[in-house]
Amino acid sequence: MAVNEQKIKILLDRFDELTASMADPAVASDVARYSKMSRELGELSSKVEVINRYKAACEEEKEALEILDSDDAEMHELAREQLSEAQHHKANIEIELMEILAERDPRDDKSVIVEIRAGAGGEEAALFAATLLKMYRGYAALKGFTVDVFDYNDTELGGYKELMFTVEGHRAYSRFKFESGVHRVQRVPVTESGGRVHTSTVTVAVIPQADPEEVTIDPKDLRIDTYRASGAGGQHINRTDSAIRITHIPTGLVVQCQDERSQYKNKDRAMEVLKSRLVEMTRSREKAEEDATRRSQVGTGDRSERIRTYNYHQGRVTDHRIGLTLYRLEEILAGDLDEIIDALTVAEAAEKQAQEE
């Protein structure tokens, strides 16, 4: 894995520059400037710590190679152990290093809105949509995020034809953005009496939540309707006309929210989703123009792209974007997604670096 030494030098030079500036009395007396520099220095400090660990591992590797190249046969065995440990340590740090040197997506810090829709497979697809919701709840709990389902169309067997939920938490988008695309499941459905394996699909879209100042909506461009929510489970929301449907007339976007008891809360949540969708629509259009001559190999937003297969018979999960196969289906469906998402994060960082070179 090639590390960009030039980027390391630029980062270290900036760290030294900031450290020296912070000691300048003129900077210390300027509260706004000092605060801004202090925040930047704090962010750089964690990156410099990774760089220093990387350099230490490289030095250990160099020392072990020098001993192995010497005539001191008695030290060769210890040197081989040191070399193995140093190279393993170095490889792990290189993954961290590639991530911190990659150009950072400013949306990574945001919370997200996730939409899941049952695709091919009828009731089986709807049931797998419910399985994915459980998987994402489990993963969110592991990362300290909170999940709030605010709209859904459920089925009699406990599946979902479609559902939407938020994942609130710092850097939620950095972890969930790789989930956008088509998820394929291969298993024997509970509705299948013959024991045949069926293939069904579910689509997932992940949208970063928009900041209030990112988009302004003219109230005259909105049509707001109230209605009585419906669902297979006979939830409390069915008793009142508290559900909200908002149509953005210029774009035709329709957003609805039905899971809050309060009509006002449903309206506020629907407006949050509408703003996020409008921002994402603009970003997607700009990205399509940028990618007109090139298509990214690590997809993070194309819902038509088959990204992952869950094979129950083999206990296998395969992420097709990076060719990663893990035989830990139960753990992954319980929310243990870090190994997959870490690998995708590294692949994305490596791709960005390759584009810059």
Establish if 138 belongs to a structural domain: yes
List the one residue out of 105, 99, 179 whose CA is nearest residue 140.
179
135 and 256 part of one domain:
no
Burial classification of residue 223, based on how many CB atoms lie within 10 Å of its CB (0-12 exposed, 13-18 middle, 19 or more buried): exposed
157 and 34 part of one domain:
no
- Which tokens in the block code for residue 184? 């394929």
CA distance 134 to 128: 10
Given this model, what pLDDT does residue 266 score? 80
Given this model, what pLDDT does residue 298 score? 43
Which residue matches tokens 């030494």?
A: 5
Give residue 143's domain range. 108-210+303-356
174 and 317 part of one domain:
yes
**Domain boundary pick from 101, 135, 166:** 101
Residue 302 has pLDDT above 50, yes or no: no
Residue 237 has pLDDT above 70, yes or no: no
Are the C-beta atoms of residues 297 and 172 closer than 8 Å to each other? no
Given this model, what pLDDT does residue 118 score? 93
119 and 198 part of one domain:
yes
88 and 135 part of one domain:
no
- Which tokens in the block code for residue 7? 């980027």
Q: Which alpha helices (DSSP H) does the chain contain, by range?
A: 5-22, 25-28, 31-68, 76-101, 123-143, 172-176, 263-290, 329-333, 338-356
58-62, 275-279, 319-323: range with lowest mean pLDDT: 275-279
Q: How many domains does one find in the chain?
A: 3
Establish if 326 belongs to a structural domain: yes
